[in-house]
Structure 1
């Protein structure tokens, strides 16, 4: 199991996530990764949303600067390069398969949803489909768990070690009494 320990989100954290997303946060069970300043970066989301919709993306990237960085990588055709790693390197392919199983195990702790059984996120275990999901998993699980998510983060212009929450479009952390 790779699930980092996290507590249920506070109302203030949910307000920040909602501001980051530009819509109400849904089904959040915890903050799985944070910015250097403490703002949410990745949320853990229940596999079935409150309205009953199956939701396979357990680790959901919410930080505006991080999502923008992954969008930039996707727009600059980095995904085929990362996908080639799966075909060319057996060790990376094996680690990516293990990341898929770890992701499924983490999500299963919050319920089984038959409609998404065996489906993780980001194209795992055999494709590279969504760098947002893969980076979210890499941030939540920590370095060395998801090699493609790690590679995407390493190639991006964003880092969780540098706060960019005050950049345009980024949500600021709310005051503790908010």
Structure 2
């Protein structure tokens, strides 16, 4: 990775869409890490410390319902265990450890929080425990940063290149 992933500012419309996607108001939003083809938020970037002072380790958080459902289906069908086995491959293990370091660096650029120091997301760097988290990281950071996230995206029955948003939840890139 040559630099930090870009974070788009979150508009009021983005906040409304994400609140509808997640069924709750948003907290600690730094911006949008990835978007659907229509422009709707897919990954929110969240402050490492929430406004109430709570530490929040999940810097990249998957919000898009279709992406979330796709990750859930993969977890339910045993794909997570198969991806865990892939960590026995040296190149995948090294890439996953590098993804862990990149995730920490991205988050720490927005504030160091002692309570979550060294903790990334998704089980990195040695376990695959949440495909939602590694997929969110991969979508925000781009291809080649998180090999498990990239594999999750390849296996998912969803793509950010094809809008799967409800008509009232579409972003500004599509009318």
TM-score (norm: length of structure 1): 0.92
Aligned residue in 1 for 2:125? 125
* Deviation by residue 1:126-159 (Cα, 9 ceiling, x = unmatched): 0001000000000000011000001011101000
Aligned residue in 2 for 1:14? 15
TM-score (norm: length of structure 2): 0.94
Q: 2:171 & 2:75 partners in 1: Cα distance?
A: 31
* Deviation by residue 1:87-109 (Cα, 9 ceiling, x = unmatched): 2x101100000000000000011
Aligned residue in 1 for 2:75? 74
* Deviation by residue 1:21-63 (Cα, 9 ceiling, x = unmatched): 0100111101000000000000100001111111100000000
Aligned length: 172
**Aligned pairs (5 A) from 1:3-152:** 3-87=4-88, 89-152=89-152
Structure 1 vs Structure 2 CA RMSD: 1.6
Change (3 A) 1:2 1:125: farther
**Residue 175 of structure 1: how far off its partner (Å):** 6.8
Q: Does the Cα contact within 8 Å between 2:66 and 2:158 map onto a contact in 1?
A: yes
Q: 2:172 & 2:92 partners in 1: Cα distance?
A: 42
**Residue 9 of structure 1: how far off its partner (Å):** 1.2
Q: Does the Cα contact within 8 Å between 1:79 and 1:128 map onto a contact in 2?
A: yes
Q: 1:70 & 1:3 partners in 2: Cα distance?
A: 24
Q: Does the Cα contact within 8 Å between 1:2 and 1:141 map onto a contact in 2?
A: no
Aligned residue in 2 for 1:173? 170
Structure 2 runs not aligned, ≥5 long: none
